[in-house]
Amino acid sequence: MADPVLRAQHVQVRFDAGRVRAVDTVSLEVGRGEVVALVGESGCGKTTLIRSVVGLEPLAAGSVEVEGRPIGSSGKGRALRAVRRRVQMIFQDPTGALNPRHSIYEAVAEGLRIHKVKGDEAALVSDALAAAGLRPPERYLRRFPHELSGGQKQRVLIAAAMALQPALLLADEPVASLDASIRGEILALMRSYVERDGVSIVAVTHDLGLAWNIADRVAVMYLGRIVEVGPAEAVLRSPQHPYTRALLSVVPETGHLEQQILTGETPDPSKVPSGCRFHPRCPVVASGEAARLGIEDRCRGVDLELEVVAEGHEVACHAVSVRST
């Protein structure tokens, strides 16, 4: 990809004194104005991955570059602060993400003050609120978070993030805590910033419907790894990885896939299985198809990386590799 906004290479994030690899060697590039959905079950490391991009989790290995400049422990001081401004994040729980003691004005102005943004602070705050759909902004400036609804609070967070004119917006389950009736509005709002400002978005979600709605590309994570990544259309219409197929098969709208309920233990990142980390729960292995293809030993014993199966579509699965050759 030429001139990506985000280039994460071989990122590892470890917890518990290094014993748990929450994110295990993930590489991801995001182009300008591109919306990438990061999907997977709870605990698969998707939130940890974007937290590491914004510097909230230290990298155990690998590197993260935003617009070609390193972020995280490799950058220092003023340079780091300048890069930080280009990456902003919104959170799953807008109530917790707003300091209850700060008025809406202060919440939005906080980033402007930290980065000493030039210009009329009051005007910048009002514009940001109006752009996020809180109109007229004067009505909200002096209010406090507890006086707003969940959707309004999420708009405040988006306004505060976008007031800094970032190149990349990271969204951690941006609508999971909101009423179904306003999820669409918030997603449309996020999409509007892509069209208007050319911002790139990485949205973490376990909701594939959301991925359908706003993503250009989809990356599927399982146990700290990306197992499938590609254009939203390709990944969601013709999923290759058995894990992606299983995820999609339980979404009502995708009637064309036979429903597969995943069995086996929920993944524990402190005990990553050998070989393909999905093999204990993999329907291909369980049904004996892997044995028929003569790859069961590889599934159980050989770890693997993403392989290109089509233009921009990559999958990490022994069965897919064997079938395509």
**Residues of the shown chain interacting with other proteins in the complex, contacts defined by CB under 8 A:** 51, 54-56, 81, 84-85, 88-89, 91, 93, 96-102, 110-116, 121, 144, 146, 157, 160-161, 164
Give the separation between CA 284 and CA 6, rounded to whole angstroms: 34
- Work out how close the CB of 154 gets to other proteins at its nearest, in angstroms, rounded to a whole number: 12
Contact 162, 197 (CB under 8 A): yes
Residue closer to other proteins (CB basis): 164 or 201 = 164
Residue closer to other proteins (CB basis): 112 or 218 = 112
- Work out how close the CB of 176 gets to other proteins at its nearest, in angstroms, rounded to a whole number: 14
Residue closer to other proteins (CB basis): 45 or 55 = 55
- Work out how close the CB of 172 gets to other proteins at its nearest, in angstroms, rounded to a whole number: 10
Contact 84, 71 (CB under 8 A): yes
Residue closer to other proteins (CB basis): 34 or 172 = 172
Contact 251, 267 (CB under 8 A): no
Which pair of tokens denotes residue 120?
């009329």
Residue closer to other proteins (CB basis): 112 or 221 = 112
Contact 171, 4 (CB under 8 A): no
Give the distance, in angstroms, between the CA of residue 311 and the centroid of all CA atoms in the same chain: 22
Give the separation between CA 227 and CA 220, rounded to whole angstroms: 6
Give the separation between CA 206 and CA 298, rounded to whole angstroms: 29
- Work out how close the CB of 206 gets to other proteins at its nearest, in angstroms, rounded to a whole number: 19
Closest CA to 244 of 217, 269, 219, 214: 219
- Work out how close the CB of 205 gets to other proteins at its nearest, in angstroms, rounded to a whole number: 18
